[in-house]
Structure 1
Amino acid sequence: MSKPVQVFVLLGQSNMVGLGKVAGGDVSLENVVKNKSQYSYLVEEDGSWHERKDVRFVQYMQGKGMLKNEWMKVTGRTMGPEYGLGHPLGNAIEAPVMVIKSCIGNRSLGWDLLPPGSEPYEHGGKTQPGYRGTPGNPKGNGDKVEGEWYAGKQYDDDVEDAKKALADLGKHYPEAKKYEVAGFFFWQGEKDCGNAAHAEKYEENLVRFIQQLRKDFEAPNAKFVMGTLGESKKGCGGNGEKVFDAQMAVDGKSGKYPEFKGHVATVFTNPMAQGGSGNGHYGGKAEVYMDVGEAMGKAMIELLK
């Protein structure tokens, strides 16, 4: 294997973890592929799920360790956007590809996934903790807090889990000797919409999140693609619109950060959501997860050109 493995890290909350149904019922991937003739690249001619030996799929979850370490193939009972984005990446990149999913549900960017460098701030008469701070000690001392949840703990754990896979590369991608972190995918925001302080700071936290991931993975040129919440659009109002506006603000083409041009893309998922919402997990509809995955994969490929 002469070329370094091209690594893509998937982060977020429950919909990135994946609650699309694989089998059983009209909304399942099995039904969509076999009875509606969609996503034909997922199956062999005999109808069995196709396994591709040039794309590796690895999944870690806080508290559960490694959940998957396999060639990309539809397995299990539920799915996220990994199949929709993994296959296009494998087709477009002339090198081995590894997709690492490291996330868990019910996590906010303003608290659980708060990136390093975030300082405490005031909102509504209360001090909101900075990175590695707690409600009782918002500033923290820079160290992990033992025995108590702290701001940024999920960020720490998800990054550490992804790095475990990279530190033991041969175990996670057989015969691989070298890797390059080429990009990050992020699909998240539901929990921040339920907290006014977190929604208010979402844009600032998101910019820092992108910058810090590149630093922590020593990948200054890594691309970043995120998906909006399916229910959100301009004019939707409330905290949801604040989060939506923040997500659109980092888009390299239409956003307001010149340094993100050619490096960051935001995918507007509302047209793909089929009327569903992030908190409702899009009714478990496999088509939503596949369509969002394909759109995010296409956006990443454009950034990599």
Structure 2
Amino acid sequence: MIRITNLLVVVYVTLGCISPAIAEKPLKIYIMAGQSNMVGTGGISTFDHIGDDPATAPLLDKMLGPDGKPRICDRVWISSLNGKMNQYGGEGFGRLTAGYGVRREDPTKPDDFIGPEYLFGITMEESYDGPILIIKTAWGGQNLCVDYRPPGAGPYVLNDQQVEMYRERGKLDQIRTQRKEATGRNYRYMVEHVRKVLGDIKRVYPDYDPDAGYELSGFVWFQGWNDFVDTATYPDSRGEKQYNEYSELLAQFIRDVRKDLDAPELPFVVGVIGVYGDFTPGTFRVVNQSDRRMKLFRKAMAAPAAMEEFKGSVVAVPTAPFRENSLGFIEQKQQQVQAMGRQLAKKHPGSANADGSMTPEQRKAYLDDYRSKLLTPEEIALWARATSIGGFVHYYGSAKFHAQAGKAFAEAFLEMEGSVGDTETRSEE
């Protein structure tokens, strides 16, 4: 391992009398970035559901302290930049615990959700007896083709299909201006915040030892939905190559992050989108061959890990196995109930309220009866116990998903250790 250290450390090592402060291991720093599922909608209210499954119950044991409340890590700190769409936002920081997921009101104050960072940090703390810092930057609704577009990819250029479409709508100039202003905005926000934290680590992690230094140890990317649904940028007409451009952008993103953070061998983990899970029929709704497109998009997300230049330093981690089919089945039934509610709310041919004569009380009673015939009491109870906010795009707000994803991301780094080049340890002189 290559280490840039203070000369005083060398002298102390030679004399065999290292003081505890100087002998402390370097601070390992992991960067986590992406969109809403990196922000995290895993409701703390759904923690108990993790313990219902023998396969994940051990995770819950790690997440809870002796008092039954979410554990506060001893050696893991976090700085989380969390803002609303297209806004820089505010920073929350402190010892890692539950509450660093989505923050609905004040981004600087804890809320009732986790993202992948929680089990990621807990897993890393188990594997390393030194200090750890997570720097998380994530915003909902962001794409890679525009918002996170890496500088090396050049400007976003509308394709011929988009030019024709927006010209017909009389919005061509407006869209071009909007895209120009948005291009790379979140990439810049991300790099700016990482540099801010690295420039004054003690502000976030008060016990940081400059003599021991720090290591940029890894970067986790978990994003994808907004590129997946953008069939204007990635048109169906491209067939099997529909999302090849995403692969190219992600590869450039990795190169540019390494360059801008002066970390040429920074290990990367790409969390491959898991929406639709294993494609079990009845657990999701297909719209415009979305199942076919999702399979193509997953391949595109994973593609950079197979590139020769990234061999051994970039790993793609599937998250589909962590999406629960049981919740998908229930959601499809819930959608039927919602559709019936919309029909009853107004005159709808063929519905029980076709003539609009039903009172609100009658509509509610009808809908309750309809729901009871579709959903069993067990399904209703499971939905209440296992889900929070966000719907299927956000894995039903299940902390079980986010916990498993975070653990898998951490384990991917642990498996890479030893297979990548030396990590540079930096110290402040």
CA contact (8 A) 1:203 1:243 kept: no
Q: Does 1:262 align with 2:312?
A: yes
| Pairing of 1:130-145 with structure 2 (within 5 A) | 135-136=176-177
Which residues of structure 1 form unaligned runs of 5+? 128-133, 141-148
Output the CA distance in 2 between the equivalents of 1:48 and 1:79.
Answer: 14
TM-score, normalised to structure 2, is 0.60
- The 1:210/1:56 distance shift into structure 2, 3 A limit, reads same
Q: Does 1:112 align with 2:154?
A: no
Out of 92, 115, 118, the position equivalent to 2:127 is 92
| Pairing of 1:1-20 with structure 2 (within 5 A) | 1=21, 2-20=24-42
**Which residue is 1:130 aligned to?**
none
Secondary structure, counterpart of 2:91 in structure 1: strand
CA contact (8 A) 1:181 1:222 kept: yes
CA contact (8 A) 2:29 2:218 kept: yes
Please state which structure has a larger fraction of its residues in strand.
Answer: 1
Deviates more, 1:88-97 or 1:282-291: 88-97
Out of 192, 198, 207, the position equivalent to 1:166 is 198
RMSD: 2.6
Out of 395, 417, 424, the position equivalent to 1:282 is 395
| 1:294 Cα offset (Å) | 0.8
CA contact (8 A) 1:5 1:98 kept: yes
Code of the residue aligned with 1:167 in structure 2: it is: G
- The 1:233/1:44 distance shift into structure 2, 3 A limit, reads closer
Output the CA distance in 2 between the equivalents of 1:5 and 1:187.
Answer: 23
Which whole-Å deviations, capped at 9, do the CAs of 1:142-188 have from their partners, x for residues lacking one? xxxxxxx3211111012211221111101111121232211100110
Code of the residue aligned with 2:42 in structure 1: it is: G
- The 1:262/1:102 distance shift into structure 2, 3 A limit, reads same
Alignment coverage as a number of residue pairs: 281
CA contact (8 A) 2:223 2:273 kept: yes
**Which residue is 2:68 aligned to?**
47
Code of the residue aligned with 2:215 in structure 1: it is: E
**Which residue is 1:300 aligned to?**
413
| Pairing of 1:1-305 with structure 2 (within 5 A) | 1=21, 2-23=24-45, 28-33=46-51, 37-39=57-59, 40-62=61-83, 63-67=88-92, 69-75=93-99, 76-120=111-155, 121=157, 123-126=159-162, 135-136=176-177, 149-176=181-208, 177=210, 178-196=213-231, 197-198=233-234, 199-231=243-275, 237-251=291-305, 255=306, 257-275=307-325, 280-305=393-418
Output the CA distance in 2 between the equivalents of 1:237 and 1:124.
Answer: 26
Secondary structure, counterpart of 1:103 in structure 2: strand
Output the CA distance in 1 between the equivalents of 2:277 and 2:64.
Answer: 34
Output the CA distance in 1 between the equivalents of 2:159 and 2:206.
Answer: 49
Code of the residue aligned with 1:105 in structure 2: it is: G
Output the CA distance in 2 between the equivalents of 1:137 and 1:112.
Answer: 11
Which residues of structure 2 form unaligned runs of 5+? 1-20, 100-110, 164-174, 235-242, 280-289, 329-389, 419-429
- The 1:227/1:89 distance shift into structure 2, 3 A limit, reads same
- The 1:125/1:49 distance shift into structure 2, 3 A limit, reads closer
Please state which structure has a larger fraction of its residues in helix.
Answer: 2
Identical-residue share of aligned pairs (%) = 28
